[in-house]
Chain A
Amino acid sequence: MSRAMPEPGENTHRTEPDPRVTGAIRYAQDVELPDMLYACIVRSPYAHARVLRVDTSSLPADVVALTPDDVRALGLYGCQIKDQQVLAVERALYIGDPVAAVAAASPRAAREAAELIEVDYEELPAVFDAVEAMQPGAPLLHEDLAISDNDAAYFGMRPEPQRNVCHHFRIRHGDIEQGFAEADVIVEETYRTPSAQHVPMEPHACLARWTADGRLEVWTGTQTPFNLRMDLAGIFGLPQERIRIIAPPMGGAFGSKTFVRYEAIVACLARKAGRPVKLVLRRDEEWLTLNRHPSTIHVKLGARRDGTLVAKQVTCWANTGAYADCGPGVAQKMGFASPGPYRIPHVWVDSYCVYTNLPSNGAFRGYGATQAVWASERTMDLLAERLGLDPLELRLKNVLVDGDRYCTGEVMHDVHFADCLKAVAGQIGWHEGRRGKGLAVLLKGMQTPSRASIVVEANDDGSYTVHCATAEMGQGAWRAIRMLAAEQLGVPVERVHFPVPDTDIVPYDTRTTSSRSTYMMGRALVEAVRQLKENGELGYGECVNEGGLDPDTGQGIASTHWHQGAAAAEVRVDEETGKLEVVHLHTAIYAGRVVNPPAAQLQNEGSMIMGLGSALFEEITFAEGQVTNANLSDYNIPAADDLPRITYDLIERPGAEIHGLGETALPPVPAAIGNALFSLGIHVRDLPLTPERVLEASERRRVRSAAPV
């Protein structure tokens, strides 16, 4: 059973007016409090510099300033490694690092006041490339790396501060040397992917106030209210219950609105001002806030002549920028996604999360998988070419099936990689001719371990209220949970309310990331509704997934639930200019059960389009650490006219579990397009696939085929 795209004109009509369309929605940036001030951040113009003096003496009297001296005594924070202070106190570590902040009566007054603050710096040597940053003699960003007590630091981290590594994740499975000795052929290649911006329509926005009795209240666009509360508690030395996080809906997030962003700065300003303080970022500041990890990935893959994979060695360098943020987690997921969904007896992975003097990189839709799949799936096609095999057959021969062991040692269940691959191959016309066509398959873990809990309450008027921390960022999570609740309660969806999450009220939830919410909350909900039906008033439900990997061997349970998908692309190339045209893109993802078809379809299309942008042109460019395209003219994202024919299957099975589908279709898209190019003999190692790179690669091909053999 497979749910395809809606036909043109098909009725995807909703039963209630969409508040995003009527304008009734109040996003994080719309929250206002009486008497509030507006913040502006003063940022370092140097990629690495000692902060010598911050002079606020020319500020007008009614402006509140926050300087390193105000925050020196506050706690260090970081969701995985405690490497960050509220401002850069001793050293600024990237161009854009906050060194001071102001609060004033209007955004304009704040901006002007920020320009009046004078900062003296002593410039220090900087490093921007992850591989270089690990070399002896490279400037060191952090001297000691304390592992965070935040529950986002759920896995064993292996920092190596003397070489700028905040986490070194390993998989040791089988005997790698023996594996390569058994191989008839070995292919080897190095790939690079650039940094990218999430570009949510709504920028980061937050507002903080302190109550008369000394509680901190924060309204913020966040996917991680509880993780945020933990870090803020550590910074201010408060018990967690003295902090209240309210998480209004967001105009897009894609991973960028996770953990502490600017909440600590506005909280400090609000405390000093004795008034609420609000910050809404300017668009260009988004590039200085959080981006996607640039990666360098080396792959060595060995197989027998018949295509049976025997050994794979992967080294990943994930460039996390100046602060770790959740980079260690990203590097880990990049590491365990890089072997790909294959049976390989001997696997050796080293994945390094490396500090450099770039803005921090963190969660980004795909969470390390986009980079890993690019390297892994491009290498599969190199191998297929070397062996003279059909790339689809090579994959089907090796792909994991139910009951197989992954290289983490876990036994795989509910496995549908082959279904996804066959579906995309069929839709792209693989068997009618492979020229200009490419495939890629994806395995992506879900946050493990994690816990989701939910309360359902019966109201006097016969309606119900769901108390749940799941963040709404345009993905339709609130509506999906309301629909599930309505179905189980036997009422129309309009009778189920989902108030804005408030950590004073909602029960604990790990966070809204890794496409886990509909699945996890959906399961918790079943228990909550069962309880409510028993007592008629209130039900509580919880869903816990247990697992984790040994950080030194990568053995254990990487994920209790796998996101599975495949993509296929058909391309045309203008051989004279290198311009690549994607003609058709098809993805098939395993959805298990689709809760809200229109929202699921939009999520999947959005993922594909974001993948297309990463494939074709999205790239943050830097000059000595300075972002050179921090605006939407210079940084292109896909426009309507850039879209090829886009089709997809959301594969369902009767009685199956819900599978998250928020980011499954993105990671395989660039690799499928890269492989389609490769079918024409054009081998591009680095993303994005600019015409210039494609032309250069197609010329290499000509030179190669002209060379005597």
Chain B
Amino acid sequence: MARPIPAWLAPTSLEEALELRARYGEEATVVAGGTFVGILINQGLLQPAALLTLRQIAELAYLRVEDASASGKPLLRIGAMTTHRALERSPLVQRGWPVLASTFALVASPRVRNQATVGGVLADADYASDPPALLHALGASVVARSPQGQRLISVEELIVGHYETSLRPDELLTEIQVPGGIEGAVYRKFRSRSSEDRPCVAVAAVRREGRLRVTVGAVAERPQYFPEICALAEGQAGIDAELAREIGERYAAAIEPLSDARGSAHYRRRVIAVEVRRALEDLHQQIIATGGGSQRHV
């Protein structure tokens, strides 16, 4: 009558992992860093028949830059099992994608970041995480693999709802790809409680190839992005104060925020207007400082 202890599947190669994933499907819960899965199991919210851990697959932890994108711009490839800490401390990332390094450094505490993985935070699709909004604004994509092959999914299409992704039960998220050619990128984490808390409002603002992309996280089921509002900045050299304010206010009006312990919907709407505006002001400063070029972002 005792509840069965979940089977522990610990493949050492990606091939083996994909085979197990296809065989078990939803029967097996994938474990990356386990920071989220562990809590669900402890709280009795998840009682999986099997656990499929990716911890022993060395080939899934890497950081590489490749000149692979269509435009010839560099592409950062992040193995799904790369920890937050490894990414945050990588000189490669710090030099080429400083906003990524600094954003991952804002997640939780060093204890969590030593454990939590880049694949895990995306596959998790928690509305109150930091990296999704930034990766969304950066135009990042993920590689989903199954024994049948692989597909590239933009972060925008990956996260479909709260804790919901478009990954299929036979797929593993194996890689995150972040394009280069960034002219400026800002991430602002607004916390309403402890510094180790998740965000109450998260704003990522990125300018790439002359186009602005503002993504607001932690305020709704999935990252919030409004291309028609961002288009207001089209053709502008920078983002002046008036435009920043207007985009902030439009975002606040367009988003239907949720209420939780970190803030009511009403309060979040106020903060969205302020934080989007501030993110754009920061972005403007960055663009001016780099002369509109892409000094800091490869």
- CB contacts under 8 Å to B, within A578-629, are 579, 616-617, 621, 628-629
Closest to A575 in B: B274
Distance A642 CA – B194 CA, assembled complex (angstroms): 6
Contacts of A577 in B (CB 8 A): 190, 270-271, 274-275
Closest B residue to A109 using CB positions = B2
Judging by beta carbons under 8 Å apart, are A690 and B192 in contact? Answer: yes
Known: A639-B109, A695-B267, A695-B270. A60 touches B192 (CB 8 A): no
> In the complex, A513→B274 CA distance in Å?
47
Interface residues as binary, B234-268 with A (CB distance below 8 Å gives 1, 0 otherwise)? 00000000000000000000000000010110010
Is the pair A617, B194 in contact by a Cβ cutoff of 8 Å? yes
Residue among A108, A621, A631, A642 having the largest count of chain B Cβ atoms under 10 Å:
A642
* Partner pick for B194 among A116, A284, A631, A638, CB 8 A cutoff: A638
Contact B3 A112 (CB under 8 A): yes
Residues of A within 8 A of B200 (CB): 691
The distance in angstroms between the C-alpha atoms of A631 and B197, with both chains bound, is: 13
| A22 interfacial by beta-carbon distance below 8 Å | no
Closest B residue by C-beta to A688: B193
The complex places the Cα of A60 from the Cα of B200 at a distance, in Å, of 47
Contact with A along B177-192 (1 / 0, CB 8 A): 0000000000000101
Judge whether A621 and B271 touch: CB under 8 Å.
no
The answer to whether B46 has its CB under 8 Å from any CB of chain A is no
Of all chain A residues, the one with the shortest Cβ separation from B191 is A579
Nearest CB in chain A to that of B192: its residue: A691
Question: Which chain B positions have C-beta within 8 A of A690?
Answer: 192-193
Annotate B95-113 by CB proximity to A: 1 below 8 A, 0 otherwise: 0000000000000010000
The verdict on A69 contacting chain B, using a C-beta distance below 8 Å, is no
Specify which chain A residues have a CB less than 8 angstroms from the CB of B150 in the assembled complex.
none
Q: Is the CB of B193 within 8 A of A617?
A: yes
* Set of chain A residues within 8 Å of B39, measured between Cβ atoms: 631, 633
Contact status B196-A639, CB under 8 Å: yes
In the complex, the chain B residue whose C-beta lies closest to that of A60 is B1
Residues of A within 8 A of B90 (CB): none
Is B194 touching A636 in the complex (CB atoms < 8 A)? yes
Q: How far is the CA of A634 from the CA of B261 in the complex (A)?
A: 8
Taking a contact as CB atoms under 8 Å apart, the answer to whether B194 and A692 are in contact is: no
A637 at the interface (CB under 8 A from B): yes
Please tell me if A461 contacts chain B, counting CB pairs below 8 Å.
no
- Give 1 or 0 for each of B1-34: 1 = CB within 8 Å of chain A CB: 1110000000000000000000000000000000
Give CA–CA (A683, B264) in the complex, Å.
20
Q: Does B195 contact A (CB under 8 A)?
A: yes
Range for the number of chain A residues in contact with chain B: 20 to 34
Q: What residues on A are CB-neighbors of B193 within 8 Å?
A: 616-617, 636, 690
Q: Which residue of A lies closest to B194 (CB)?
A: A636
| Complex Cα–Cα for A109 and B190 (A) | 43
Interface residue? A7 (CB, 8 A)? no
Given the complex of chains A and B, what is the CA–CA distance between A109 and B1 in angstroms? 10
Q: Contacts A112-B3, A577-B271: A629 and B261 contacting too (C-beta < 8 A)?
A: yes
Chain B interface, number of residues (Cβ within 8 angstroms)? 23
With A577-B271, A617-B194, A636-B193 already in contact, the answer to whether A692 and B264 are too (CB < 8 A) is yes
Q: How far apart are A61's CB and chain B's nearest CB, in angstroms?
A: 11
CB <8 Å contact, A639 and B3: no
Give every chain A residue within 8 A of B1 (Cβ-Cβ).
60, 112, 116
Give the complex CA separation of A691 and B270 in angstroms.
Answer: 11
Give the residues in chain B near A641, CB-CB below 8 Å: 195-196
Interface members, chain A 105-149 (any B CB < 8 Å): 108-109, 112, 116
> 0/1 per residue, B74-107, Cβ < 8 Å to A?
0000000000000000000000000000000000
- From residue 197 to 233 of chain B, which have CB atoms closer than 8 A to chain A? 197-198, 200
A620 vs chain B, min Cβ distance (A): 11
- Chain A residue contacts of B3, Cβ below 8 A: 112
B12, chain A: closest CB distance, angstroms: 29
List B contacts of A617 (CB < 8 A).
Answer: 192-194
A284 neighbours in B (Cβ, 8 Å)? 43
Residues of A within 8 A of B194 (CB): 616-617, 636-639, 642
What 1/0 flags go to A678-695 for Cβ under 8 Å of B? 000000000000111001
Output the residue of B195, B261, B263 with the most chain A CB within 10 A. B261
Judge whether A692 and B261 touch: CB under 8 Å.
no
A641-682 CB contacts (< 8 Å) to partner B: 641-642
Smallest CB gap from A699: residue in B: B270
Q: In the complex, what's the smallest C-beta–C-beta distance from B160 to chain A, in angstroms?
A: 24
Nearest residue, chain A, Cβ from B263:
A692
Q: Top 10 nearest A-B pairs by Cβ distance?
A: A641-B195, A617-B193, A636-B194, A639-B196, A692-B267, A636-B193, A576-B274, A691-B192, A642-B195, A639-B194
Pairs across A and B, CB under 8 Å, 18 listed: A60-B1, A109-B2, A112-B1, A112-B2, A284-B43, A576-B274, A577-B271, A616-B193, A616-B194, A617-B194, A633-B39, A634-B261, A636-B194, A636-B197, A639-B195, A641-B195, A642-B194, A691-B267
Binding site for B on A (CB under 8 A): 60, 108-109, 112, 116, 284, 576-577, 579, 616-617, 621, 628-629, 631, 633-634, 636-639, 641-642, 690-692, 695
Residues of B within 8 A of A (CB): 1-3, 39, 43, 109, 190, 192-198, 200, 261, 263-264, 267, 270-271, 274-275
**14 other A-B residue contacts (CB within 8 Å) besides A639-B196, A691-B263:** A116-B1, A576-B274, A577-B190, A616-B194, A617-B194, A629-B261, A631-B39, A631-B43, A639-B194, A642-B194, A691-B200, A691-B271, A692-B263, A692-B264
